[in-house]
């Protein structure tokens, strides 16, 4: 009750100073807004790099917002120390009512401070994949990839995600400190094919297209290892052999840039098809129905024993 009575006693004084403070606050906002536009026009037009321009634009905007909040706050709260308790209770009520926006604002501070991803990175969160194109105070925006589009191609949709989701979900960053990922291309040949010859062909193709990337991978790996415990025993591409129900599976495994997965697979598949077409002893496998006679087709040691003449 004492707090409410103090607040009522201050109302006349507050009403007398309200109009001048409103006029002063509006003037401050207009001056800072014009000054912000002038700085952006004079400075940003000289910046040609899109990412640098975006970062500077955000920095200037947030800086002027902070300056405006400090100056206007001093205008409105000077000489009103007796309302600290009342404002504290009011703030607690607002915090409960506006929980989600405050969580999103805390998420923005986390993104700016810890930087699990930045504008331009490719990320995945709760099954949603895309390239980050904007980070604001309450949400970040990604340009979606995948979904109904094959591989990692863009769908053209923009997805707006509240910043608070970074506290609730795991984030996969495709490019943080290391811009390469392991990609695999399975190639299946028939059991009758010369799979050793096919494996050598695939090995030559994957090494040919990966040799130039090895040096860049090693350099980025050294840089990333200063911050993360990233260790690969072998960076060279390899072809693994396994067996499936329809044939022999030869899997190409190699490092490629995140945004080059589909392009690299396209180039290699074209060369694989051309190379296999020249080999009469290599055929690609596909699901088939086959009847196998072990007596005539099986290995001699694996054939069933021939029954002898009946005993008398």
Model pTM above 0.75: no
Q: Are residues 161 and 239 in the same domain?
A: no
Q: Are residues 190 and 269 in the same domain?
A: yes
14 lies in some domain = yes
Coil, strand or helix at 80: coil
Strand 154-162 versus strand 180-189 pairing type = unpaired
- Give the span between the Cα atoms of 42 and 54, in whole angstroms: 15
Q: What is the CATH number of the domain that holds 216?
A: 3.30.70.100
User: Which residue ranges in the chain fall short of pLDDT 70?
Assistant: 1-19, 50-51, 73-98, 225-226, 231, 301-312
- Give the span between the Cα atoms of 20 and 58, in whole angstroms: 32
What's the confidence (pLDDT) of residue 19? 67
CB-based contacts of 291, cutoff 8 Å, min separation 6: none
Q: Are residues 223 and 249 in the same domain?
A: yes
Q: Are residues 91 and 169 in the same domain?
A: no
205 lies in some domain = yes
Helix (H), strand (E), coil (C) string for 236-263? CCEEEEEECCCCEEEEEEEEEEHHHHHH
294 lies in some domain = no
What's the confidence (pLDDT) of residue 84? 55
What's the confidence (pLDDT) of residue 308? 56
Number of domains in the chain: 3
Query: What's the token pair of residue 160?
Result: 């707006």
Q: Are residues 59 and 33 in the same domain?
A: yes
The residue range of the domain holding 127 is 113-173
What's the confidence (pLDDT) of residue 199? 95
Coil, strand or helix at 85: helix
What's the confidence (pLDDT) of residue 217? 81
10 lies in some domain = yes
Q: Are residues 48 and 87 in the same domain?
A: yes
Q: Are residues 141 and 69 in the same domain?
A: no
Residue 127 main-chain phi, psi, to 5 deg: 80, 0
- Give the span between the Cα atoms of 19 and 29, in whole angstroms: 15
Q: Are residues 75 and 11 in the same domain?
A: yes
Q: Are residues 120 and 153 in the same domain?
A: yes
| Start-end of H helices in the chain | 2-44, 50-77, 84-97, 99-114, 195-224, 261-277, 294-297
Are 128 and 161 within 8 A, CB to CB?
yes
């Amino acid at each position: 009750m004492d707090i409410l009575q103090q607040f009522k006693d201050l109302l006349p004084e507050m009403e007398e100073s309200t109009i001048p403070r409103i006029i002063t606050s509006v003037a401050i906002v207009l001056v800072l807004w014009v000054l912000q536009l002038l700085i952006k026009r004079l400075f940003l037009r000289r910046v040609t790099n899109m990412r640098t321009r975006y970062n500077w634009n955000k920095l200037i905007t947030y800086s002027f917002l902070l300056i405006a909040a400090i100056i206007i706050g001093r205008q409105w709260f000077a000489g009103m120390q007796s309302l600290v308790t009342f404002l504290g209770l009011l703030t607690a009520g607002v915090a409960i009512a506006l929980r989600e926006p405050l969580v999103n604002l805390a998420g923005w501070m986390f993104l700016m401070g810890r930087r699990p991803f930045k504008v331009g990175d490719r990320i995945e969160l709760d099954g949603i994949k895309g390239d980050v194109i904007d980070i604001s105070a309450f949400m970040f925006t990604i340009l979606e990839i995948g979904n109904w589009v094959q591989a990692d191609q863009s769908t053209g949709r923009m997805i707006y995600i509240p910043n608070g989701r970074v506290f609730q979900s795991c984030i996969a960053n495709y490019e943080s400190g290391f811009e390469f990922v392991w990609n695999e291309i399975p190639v299946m040949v028939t059991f009758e094919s010369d799979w050793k010859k096919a494996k050598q062909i695939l090995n030559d193709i994957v090494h040919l297209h990966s040799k130039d990337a090895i040096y860049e991978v090693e350099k980025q790996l050294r840089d990333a290892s200063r911050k993360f415990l990233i260790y690969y025993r072998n960076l060279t591409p390899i072809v693994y052999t396994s067996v499936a129900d329809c044939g022999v599976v030869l899997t190409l495994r190699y490092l490629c840039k995140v945004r080059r997965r589909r392009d690299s697979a396209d180039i290699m598949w074209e060369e694989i098809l051309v190379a296999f077409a020249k080999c009469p002893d290599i055929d690609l496998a596909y699901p088939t129905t086959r009847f196998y006679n072990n007596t005539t087709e099986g290995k001699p040691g694996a054939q069933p024993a021939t029954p002898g003449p009946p005993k008398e």
